[in-house]
Amino acid sequence: MSFEWTDIFTLLVLIVYFYFLASTIIVLILENRNPIRSLAWVMVLMFLPVLGLIIYAMLGQKVRQKKKIRKLSIRSGSNSTKVKPDLSPLAHHTLSDNATGLIRLLYNGDEALIYENSKIDILATPQETFDAIFSDLESAKDHIHIEFYIINNDEVGNRLVDLLTQKVKEGVEVRLIYDYWGCFGLPNKFIKRMKKGGIKFYAFFPPRFPFVLSRLNYRNHRKIIVVDGKVGYTGGINMASRYLYGNNLGMWRDTMVRFEGAATLGLQEAFSDDWYFEDRTILEDVHYFPPQKSFSKNIVQVVDSGPDTNFQSILHGMYHAISTAQDYVYIHTPYFMPPEVILVAIETAALRGVDVQMIIPIKSDASMAREGNCSYFERMLDAGVRIFNYQKGFLHSKAWVVDDLICSVGTSNIDFRSYEQNFEISAFIYDAETALKIKSLFTNDLNDCVEIYKEEWKKRPKMQRFRESLSRLFSPIL
């Protein structure tokens, strides 16, 4: 019996393929991931020949890729310039044990500085948000730092570039970071306009050979604006006209927070870290971190989380706030495919008698995400959580409030991607006045919602249940 060269070649290809398959599975097991996630990936690798390896190369190389990312980050031991946090300001504030514990948690996990006595404005309509942003940008005298997941080539995006170009002509330093994949559709002429206008900019974490596929899975979802080191913004909104005019989902509802004073320095530091990631220069000059005015008595911690940090600090913070809640927890989120720890915290709070309410959009810009959201509803309803479907348009807000004291506005959704893969940022705010504003926004949004009731929900068609369960299977790896 003789072998043809084609037979030998086929045998070699199979040997190489199974070598890589076995090696990948062994590495996957040795990484000691969540067993459910590991099993999901093993199933993908085993039952999707060749395609499974490609998908894993794009989405699954979590531990090894994160190590490479941390080496690039200024937060690594050799690069870090972060000031050691000081807890002494806590002595000047009367806070609950829950709030104090949360502050210490974020201090230990993220080295989150304590910023005192900022001016805090909550912005919840697109018009007031963009009016405030562009007004502050127009008033810039020294520098503008901007970071967004999405900047569209539309009315809002072009207005931004025109204004930034004008500020460069006036002698203002302008730096901009946008996510490579979030802005994948930006035309070259748009990018050339920024370059010609003198704007210093980077596409964050673009694909580079040979890591093209593995870089696809890491997105910079942070939204940051800093003007002259004195005014700062963060929250869920992107630079896109759909917020002003809507799209096929209707009008978009989002939440932003505007700071004046000390909390702006936290956003400046986060931007500086991300600028170093791409430019390898440290923005540490005093004019980027100027002295701040003192406003109302409050505390803010700016918490960033992602592949460049050691801990999932935003997840830890939300878990602690829910777990220690005494009266209520109100949550806005467009995507709800939570890790088990958050799901258990929500259920436990509801079973303790805490009033837990969630607003989730009935429409979504990703059909699988909507089905995945729904797969968690029955379990929460059984625990006593009240769930409301937002019907006026698309709810994109990422905000929550606990007990008239602790609240958060940021970029993080309640899903695996936000907690484990994306670069995210959230402002944790300890202030009764701001908490009541977030609470008021939540209760006002209930007027545009329909509540889901347990008895009716359990009657939904079996095919719908199947689609939900199928979507949920992919939630840990998407």
If phi over 0 gives left and psi between -120 and 50 gives alpha, with beta otherwise, what is residue 111?
A: left
| Active-site option among 273, 274, 403, 415 | 403
Residue bearing tokens 């393929």: 17
Residue type at 394? F
| Active-site option among 62, 143, 223, 332 | 223
User: Distance between alpha carbon 152 and the CA centroid of its chain, in Å?
Assistant: 19
Q: Cβ(149)–Cβ(182) under 8 Å?
A: yes
145 catalytic, yes or no? no
403 catalytic, yes or no? yes
320 catalytic, yes or no? no
| Active-site option among 136, 228, 308, 445 | 228
Task: For residue 292, give both structure tokens.
Answer: 């701040």
Task: For residue 60, give both structure tokens.
Answer: 């699954």
| Active-site option among 396, 415, 437, 445 | 396
CB neighbours of residue 83 within 10 Å: 9
Per-residue three-class SS string for the chain: CCCCHHHHHHHHHHHHHHHHHHHHHHHHHHCCCCHHHHHHHHHHHHHCCCHHHHHHHHHCCHHHHHHHHHHHCCCCCCCCCCCCCCCHHHHHCCCCHHHHHHHHHHHHHHCCCCEECCEEEEECCHHHHHHHHHHHHHCCCCEEEEEECCECCCHHHHHHHHHHHHHHHCCCEEEEEEECCCCCCCCHHHHHHHHHCCCEEEEECCCCCCCHHHHCCCCECCCEEEECCCEEEEECCCECCHHHHCECCEEEECCEEEEECCHHHHHHHHHHHHHHHHHCCCCCCHHHCCCCCCCCCCEEEEEEECCCCCCCHHHHHHHHHHHCCCCEEEEECCCEECCHHHHHHHHHHHHCCCEEEEEEECCCCCHHHHHHHHCCHHHHHHHCCEEEEECCEEECCCEEEECCCEEEEECCCEEHHHHHCCEEEEEEEECHHHHHHHHHHHHHHHHHEEEECHHHHCCCCHHHHHHHHHHHHHCCCC
| Active-site option among 143, 221, 230, 316 | 221
Q: Which residues pair with 227 in a beta bridge?
A: 144, 231
Task: For residue 442, give both structure tokens.
Answer: 């939540």
| Active-site option among 145, 398, 437, 445 | 398
287 catalytic, yes or no? no
Q: Cβ(324)–Cβ(101) under 8 Å?
A: yes
Residues acting as catalytic residues: 221, 223, 228, 396, 398, 403
